[in-house]
């Protein structure tokens, strides 16, 4: 997708320069114009979906009728599941939804739940749409909470140190995506790990490539935010150095796992008082959000089992002598999870048979 890359880089330049040189009155217009220009030229449906769902979510939240807010959440969830099912109905991985759809759904549910709780500061519809379409994060996250985004947006602060850190993050991000993920994980490791069974070596290199590409793109997004003086939450925190599975999950695709914790795990725990059930359902939602397939369900179940075993059997995490063994067990468990995903037959959607 070279065209997308070039467009993204060009608009990133416009985004950064307008944050530096425009006044705070003019800057939001430039920011929203960049977001819209990117989506309209890449996938007009994504722009339309963002604007329409943002306005609808704001209007539902403003009505202050709880039933309407819950109907909105149910509608978002139903549309999401329907799209995931239809995408695989004829066996092909059809791209029906607008770009960034999975992330849009997470943001909308978060917004509606928090609005229903009355936990968000006063704001207009434009803020919701601007947040949903926010150029740095619109396609691949991180998923930033609305109140967090609004706080940084209202701070209206630009300084050189932040911008320099932003540029550095963007450079490190692209270096990770282009050089490390291609050369490091893609080729060198395969050669080193030739002794491994093929599927295991592929699972390992696949996991590393996924991590390097995704964390690199997250770095680029965070760096772009810093160019405009805004903080975007971290998505990864060195997950492959963790010596227990719960820590791994707190450092891997953090913004989405925190979403699952806040909107699936904790509400279910509060209602059922069963941490086991809440963990299994939370992990299943996290897994099926990626893809509605048995392979992902098995992957989610594997990690739910791992977390359950960990809380039941593991020594206190501070036990220093346990750290090397804990690291090996954690990495083994994670790698086995990726192996399950890789060996599971593609197109296994049970509803498509």
Q: Are 78 and 67 in contact (CB under 8 A)?
A: no
Burial (Cβ within 10 Å: 0-12, 13-18, ≥19) of residue 237? middle
Q: Least distance to another protein from the beta carbon of 271, Å? A: 28
Instruction: Looking at residues 120 to 179 of the shown chain, list those that interact with another protein (rule: CB under 8 A).
Output: 139-140, 168, 171-172, 174-175, 177-179
Site size with another protein, rule: CB under 8 A: 30
Query: Is the CB of residue 201 less than 8 Å from the CB of residue 194?
Result: yes
> Least distance (Å) from another protein to the CB of residue 125?
26
In the set 18, 53, 181, 235, which binds another protein (CB under 8 A)?
181
Q: Interaction with another protein in 191-210: which residues (CB under 8 A)?
A: 209
Q: Does 328 bind another protein (CB under 8 A)?
A: no
CA dist 352 and 85 (Å) reads 8
Q: Looking at 153-161, 212-220, 239-247, 320-328, which segment touches another protein (CB under 8 A)?
A: 212-220
102 binding another protein? (CB under 8 A): yes
Q: Other CB atoms closer than 10 Å to residue 65's CB: what's the count? A: 12
* By the rule CB under 8 A, 1 interacts with another protein: yes
Residue of the chain from 61, 100, 233, 306 that contacts another protein (CB under 8 A): 100
Element (H, E) at 296: helix 294-313
Q: Does 103 contact another protein by CB under 8 A?
A: yes
Please provide residue 255's backbone torsions phi and psi, each rounded to the nearest 5 degrees.
Answer: -65, -30
Tell which residue, 106, 229, 215, has the closest CA to residue 164. 229
* Secondary structure (3-state) at 321: helix
Does 286 contact another protein by CB under 8 A?
no
Is 213 a binder of another protein (CB under 8 A)?
yes
Check residue 214 for interaction with another protein (CB under 8 A). Answer: yes
- The DSSP-derived string for 157-220 is ---HHHHHHHHHHHHHHHHIIIIIIIIIIIIIHHHHTTTS-HHHHHHHHHHHHHHHHHHHHHHH
Give the separation between CA 36 and CA 220, rounded to whole angstroms: 19
Triad 295, 296, 297: Cα angle to 5°: 90
48 contacts another protein (rule: CB under 8 A): no
> Which of 109, 133, 150, 217 is in the footprint of another protein by CB under 8 A?
217
By CB under 8 A, residue 91 contacts another protein:
no
Verify binding: residue 344, another protein, rule CB under 8 A: no
When binding is defined by CB under 8 A, the residue of 67, 90, 93, 122 that contacts another protein is 93
If one asks whether residue 81 binds another protein (CB under 8 A), the answer comes out as: no
CB of 126 to another protein, least distance (A): 26
Measured between alpha carbons, how far is 302 from 308 in angstroms, rounded to an integer?
Answer: 10
SS3 14: helix
> Which residues lie near another protein (CB under 8 A)?
1-2, 4-5, 93, 95, 99-103, 139-140, 168, 171-172, 174-175, 177-179, 181-183, 209, 213-214, 217, 289-290
């Amino acid at each position: 997708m070279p065209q997308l890359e070039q467009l993204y880089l060009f608009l990133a330049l416009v985004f950064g320069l307008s944050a530096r040189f425009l006044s705070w009155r003019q800057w939001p217009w430039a920011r929203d114009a960049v977001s819209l220009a990117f989506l309209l030229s890449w996938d007009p449906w994504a722009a339309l979906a963002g604007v329409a769902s943002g306005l609808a979510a704001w209007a539902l939240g403003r009505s202050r009728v709880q039933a309407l807010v819950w109907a909105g959440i149910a509608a978002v969830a139903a549309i999401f599941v329907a799209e995931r099912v239809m995408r695989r109905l004829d066996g092909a991985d059809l791209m029906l939804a607008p770009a960034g759809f999975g992330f849009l759904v997470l943001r909308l549910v978060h917004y509606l739940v928090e609005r229903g709780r009355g936990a968000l500061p006063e704001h207009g519809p434009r803020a919701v749409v601007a947040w949903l379409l926010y150029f740095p994060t619109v396609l691949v996250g991180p998923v930033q909470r609305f109140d967090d985004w609004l706080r940084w947006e209202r701070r209206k602060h630009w300084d050189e140190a932040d911008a320099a850190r932003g540029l550095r993050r963007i450079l490190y991000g692209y270096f990770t995506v282009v050089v490390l993920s291609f050369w490091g994980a893609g080729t060198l490791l395969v050669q080193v790990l030739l002794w491994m069974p093929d599927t295991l070596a592929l699972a390992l290199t696949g996991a590393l490539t996924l991590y390097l590409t995704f964390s690199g793109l997250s770095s680029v997004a965070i760096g772009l935010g810093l160019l405009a003086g805004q903080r975007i939450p971290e998505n990864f925190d060195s997950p492959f150095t963790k010596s227990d599975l719960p820590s791994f999950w707190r450092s891997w695709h953090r913004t989405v796992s925190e979403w699952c914790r806040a909107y699936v795990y904790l509400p279910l725990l509060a209602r059922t008082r069963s941490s086991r059930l809440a963990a299994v359902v939370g992990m299943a939602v996290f897994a099926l959000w990626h893809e509605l397939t048995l392979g992902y369900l098995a992957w989610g179940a594997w990690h739910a089992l791992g977390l359950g075993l960990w809380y039941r059997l593991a020594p206190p995490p501070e036990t220093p002598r346990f750290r090397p063994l804990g690291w090996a067990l954690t990495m083994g468990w994670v790698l086995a999870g990726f192996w399950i995903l890789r060996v599971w037959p593609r197109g296994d959607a049970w509803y498509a048979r």
